Structure 1
Amino acid sequence: MSNSRYPSNWKEIANAVKESVGWRCQKCDKLCLKPGEETSHLTKSQRRAYTLQVHHWNFNPADNRRENLAPLCSGCHLYYHRFGRGNISPGQLELELKFKI
């Protein structure tokens, strides 16, 4: 049994969020890889760069309300974690994300 703060159905939640945006990063609009997509022509680094992840605006993986989740490519996801935007509300971040692009 895992002591993860993510729910047992996290994979389904994350896939639904990614599918809802057509597998595009919501910050840079990069089209990312879908499950089962052919990737043998890509390097490991390229596959990682085109991996869509789901970011929790409030940095709480137990809070999986749709407004708290943002599909981001790995580079953009790292950006939000690196620059510690946890002190901004999800609504403010969503507006910031939409208008900074």
Structure 2
Amino acid sequence: MRLFRAAVAALGALLLSVSLPAGSAAAADGQFYWAGPKGKLYSVQNPPDHKCLDMGQEASEPRNLTKKPLAVYPGKKCKGSATRLEPGKKADRNVRFASVIFNP
């Protein structure tokens, strides 16, 4: 019985160690910054890939400090004409957006 438990624990540890790198690959590693109301800076770290995120308040001046491209949209649910930002780039101060998607 002890041998069985040890084998199950070892298998579980192996599966966990194999699954962890795959989870981190599904995120845009790094930080995304933007200016909110009254110019206050906000950020999110390691945002998810391929998922449209709606902003809860006014947002402008997006800064892409992730390792993947992103697109910001003037409308909620990633609607409207996209402004693309490559990794390490920032948009003009007048760029306002209501949603963003990483690694579109």
More strand as a share of residues: 2
More helix as a share of residues: 1
Identify the structure with bigger relative contact order (alpha carbons < 8 Å, sequence gap 6+): 1
Task: Please give the range of the TM-score, normalised by the shorter of the 2 chains.
Answer: under 0.3
Q: Give TM-score, length-normalised by structure 1.
A: 0.27
Q: Give TM-score, length-normalised by structure 2.
A: 0.27
